[in-house]
Amino acid sequence: MPTVREVTADEIQPLRQRVLRPHQQLDELREPDDDAPDSAAFAAVDDAGVVVATGTVKRRPPPFPHPGDVPAWQLGAMAVDPGHRGEGLGSAILDAILRHVDTRGGGLVWCNARIPARGFYLHHGFEVASAPFELPDIGPHVVMTTHR
């Protein structure tokens, strides 16, 4: 069984590109706040050291009004290698991310969820917070939220 651990943002980019953003180059996936103090990247790593699931979290305001005194965290880059789906790795990554948020005081956790992933987030206590919208080259999404 792969183990979940915190990694660098660079370590997750190959899987993120392959599963989520095949239309982009690896260097295009880097974001300015990848290395911010509260940002974190998590990976499920198999026995051979291969990243088979990923997720990130960063302090970012949501795309809708919210109380300024409530920290906001964006969940992103949730990806599981197709050969490892159904093993609970997405849930394990999400649990690690939510623990990271909890140890930093909690707050609003939000994400742009792909429409097919809505059920996953609903199962983990998230709520749909927007009408569907299209992200160019990626597809239909909804904003989903939970509070910690």
- pLDDT tens for 32-67 read 899 999 999 999 999 999 999 999 999 999 999 988
Kindly report the number of other CB atoms within 10 A of residue 93's CB atom.
25
| Domain architecture of the chain: domains with CATH | 3-147 (3.40.630.30)
40 has which bridge partners? 57
pLDDT at 21: 93
- pLDDT tens for 91-140 read 999 999 999 999 999 999 999 999 999 999 999 999 999 999 999 989 99
CA distance 15 to 79: 7
Rg (Cα) of the chain, in Å, rounded? 15
pLDDT at 8: 96
- Helices marked H in the chain — which ranges? 9-19, 89-103, 118-123
pLDDT at 67: 84
* 81 residue type, one letter: D
